[in-house]
Chains A and B, each alone.
Chain A
Amino acid sequence: EAEVAQSPRYKITEKSQAVAFWCDPISGHATLYWYRQILGQGPELLVQFQDESVVDDSQLPKDRFSAERLKGVDSTLKIQPAELGDSAMYLCASSLGDRLAKNIQYFGAGTRLSVL
């Protein structure tokens, strides 16, 4: 069964360092999402791509976060510099992106970030 792949699974870093997370969506999925899930809360959307274009990044803290999906397939989310409040689970999801369909989003296992 096709899955959304994310790496690394865990990342520990010191504040002010740079970190990067990688996501490979399910083959053929045009839409890719990055979510942040703080412990004890639901996921919140950071950025949404349609192919290689950003559709929504209104909740992305652009002073320190960046995301790209250069070839419209896999994606990288970067934080520089990391702050203590960035400690969270970062989830990637993908979907076919068909507006007429139920647009089910499939999630990866996530990257748990701890900033010390």
Chain B
Amino acid sequence: GEDVEQSLFLSVREGDSSVINCTYTDSSSTYLYWYKQEPGAGLQLLTYIFSNMDMKQDQRLTVLLNKKDKHLSLRIADTQTGDSAIYFCAMGGAGNMLTFGGGTRLMVKP
């Protein structure tokens, strides 16, 4: 089945850019998603990208998709302390099911 990998932890200073990376094995996903999870809460959809796109920008968020390398990234510009959370990438597969990575914990230092 699909295997989705993320680095565990990222620490940045407030105002810097954050880049969270994700690699996957199955290239058949039509949509790829980024979700945010704050402590004790459910998952909040941040953004998504269609598989035939290379880049999508949405305010402070930029998603880059490299299909050749099976690599997805999320860049957060001007990172704020409120961005501290766990970020999950997810692949949309057959039957509309999602396969999630293990999550990257982003810590933003003031």
Taking Cβ atoms with an 8 Å cutoff, the residues of A that contact B are 4, 6, 31, 33, 40-45, 48, 55-56, 91, 93, 95, 97, 99, 102-110, 112
In the complex, per-residue mask of B71-110: 1 if CB is within 8 Å of any chain A CB, else 0:
0000000000000000010101001111011110000000
In the complex, whether B17 has a CB less than 8 A from a CB of chain A is no
In the complex, per-residue mask of B36-49: 1 if CB is within 8 Å of any chain A CB, else 0:
00001111110010
Contact A42–B48 (Cβ < 8 Å): no
> CA–CA, A95 to B31, complex, Å?
14
Q: Shortest beta-carbon distance, A4 to chain B, in Å?
A: 8
> CA–CA, A48 to B94, complex, Å?
12
Cβ contacts under 8 Å, A31 to chain B? 96
Contact B97–A48 (Cβ < 8 Å): yes
8 contacts between A and B (CB under 8 A): A42-B4, A42-B100, A42-B101, A56-B97, A99-B96, A103-B31, A103-B96, A110-B42
Count CB-based A-B contacts (< 8 Å).
Answer: 58
Contact A105–B44 (Cβ < 8 Å): no
19 additional A-B residue pairs with CB within 8 Å, beyond A42-B102, A102-B31: A4-B42, A33-B97, A41-B103, A42-B4, A43-B43, A43-B98, A48-B97, A91-B42, A93-B43, A95-B96, A99-B96, A102-B30, A102-B48, A102-B50, A103-B31, A104-B48, A107-B42, A109-B41, A110-B41
> CA–CA, A9 to B83, complex, Å?
24
> CA–CA, A54 to B40, complex, Å?
28
Contact A41–B102 (Cβ < 8 Å): yes
Cβ contacts under 8 Å, B95 to chain A? 48, 55-56
Name the residue in A48, A97, A103, A104 with the highest tally of chain B Cβ atoms < 10 Å from its Cβ.
A103
Q: Which residue of A lies closest to B45 (CB)?
A: A104
Cβ contacts under 8 Å, A42 to chain B? 4, 88, 90, 100-103
Cβ contacts under 8 Å, A108 to chain B? 42
Known contacts A41-B103, A42-B88, A42-B103, A105 near B42 by CB under 8 Å? no
